[in-house]
């Protein structure tokens, strides 16, 4: 699955509302994992500046600024609509060689034009001994969404549904660790498993709808996003009625490396 930056900037991440819908579902995570705290512990006592590349809703920047106010943290994002201090692409970072003490690439390397190139760029801007933190999901994470895609399309009369369009598969934990090792020489990995148990269909439907920009173009001819979403909602509500909740598998990893 290729990445179209015009779609990312123009729709998917025109602002942070869609990302916020996806993040909000973790309120029902069991056990609750504070991935921001766990990841930032890996930074240790690094000196700044710290580049928060693909800063999203600002969780990492805000936590760092609160706990280490002396540290210069620079939010970077491809989309100006996300409100970063610096607009820039991870494949071509607008920073000098060796200018950063640390770089965060949290749940975003799958959106790079080429993840290997992005990792090389991140290493380029780090000074010797600088720290990289990257996070991503494992292969089984949210696998239930792929089942929803397939079932909804079959319910709409699609005999042979196309594969579920998950851009996250471009940088999964299983392959991402090896890619970081290839670029940095070594890395450490922390993995966390959980289950997201949502007792109401509405947040799950909002999560699915937040993926429209990346997924609608992969629907078969004759299937609109509205009809697909209605079929998905029906499936989610049926599951909640049958079992009391809709469940998503959680599997995330934090990869730490030193330049």
Q: What is the pLDDT of residues 90-144, one digit of tens each?
A: 999 999 999 999 999 999 999 999 999 999 999 999 999 999 999 999 999 999 9
Q: How many domains does the chain have?
A: 1
Residue 54 forms part of a structural domain: yes
- Rounded Cα distance, 78 and 65, in Å: 21
pLDDT at 1 over 70: no
Residue 83 forms part of a structural domain: yes
For residue 76, give the CATH number of its domain: 3.40.50.150
> Each residue of 48-86: pLDDT tens digit?
899 999 999 999 999 999 999 999 999 999 999 999 999
Residue 69 forms part of a structural domain: yes
pTM of the model: 0.93
Residue 3 forms part of a structural domain: no
- Contacts made by residues 72-80, CB under 8 angstroms, sequence distance 24+: 72/48, 73/48, 73/49, 74/49, 74/50, 76/51, 76/52, 77/13, 77/53, 78/5, 78/8, 78/9, 78/13, 78/54, 78/111, 79/8, 79/9, 79/13, 79/14, 80/9
Residue 111 forms part of a structural domain: yes
Residue 2 forms part of a structural domain: no
pLDDT at 160 over 70: yes
Residue 121 forms part of a structural domain: yes
Q: Is 130 exposed, middle or buried (0-12, 13-18, 19+ CB in 10 A)?
A: buried
Which tokens sit at 8?
A: 């990312």
Residue 140 forms part of a structural domain: yes
Which range of residues forms the domain containing residue 142? 8-258
């Amino acid at each position: 699955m290729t990445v179209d930056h015009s779609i990312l900037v123009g729709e998917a991440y025109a602002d942070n509302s869609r990302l916020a819908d996806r993040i909000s579902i973790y309120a029902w995570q069991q056990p609750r994992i504070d991935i921001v705290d766990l990841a930032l512990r890996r930074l240790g006592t690094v000196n700044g500046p710290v580049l928060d590349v693909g800063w999203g809703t600002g969780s990492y920047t805000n936590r760092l600024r609160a706990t280490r106010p002396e540290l210069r943290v620079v939010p970077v994002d491809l989309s100006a609509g996300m409100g970063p201090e610096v607009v820039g692409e991870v494949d071509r970072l607008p920073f000098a060689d060796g200018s950063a003490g640390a770089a965060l690439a949290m749940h975003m390397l799958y959106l790079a034009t080429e993840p290997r190139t992005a990792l090389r760029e991140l290493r380029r801007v780090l000074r010797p001994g600088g720290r990289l933190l990257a996070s991503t999901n494992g292969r089984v994470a949210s696998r239930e969404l792929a089942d929803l895609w397939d079932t909804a399309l079959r319910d709409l009369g699609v005999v042979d549904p196309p594969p579920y369009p998950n851009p996250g598969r471009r940088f999964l934990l299983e392959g991402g660790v090896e890619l970081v090792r290839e670029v940095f020489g070594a890395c450490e990995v922390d993995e966390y498993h959980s289950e997201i148990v949502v007792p109401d269909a509405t947040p799950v439907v909002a999560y699915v709808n937040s993926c429209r920009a990346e997924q609608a173009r992969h629907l078969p001819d004759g299937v609109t996003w509205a009809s697909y979403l209605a079929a998905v909602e029906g499936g989610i509500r049926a599951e909640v009625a049958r079992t009391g909740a809709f469940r998503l598998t959680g599997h995330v990893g934090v990869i730490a490396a030193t330049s």
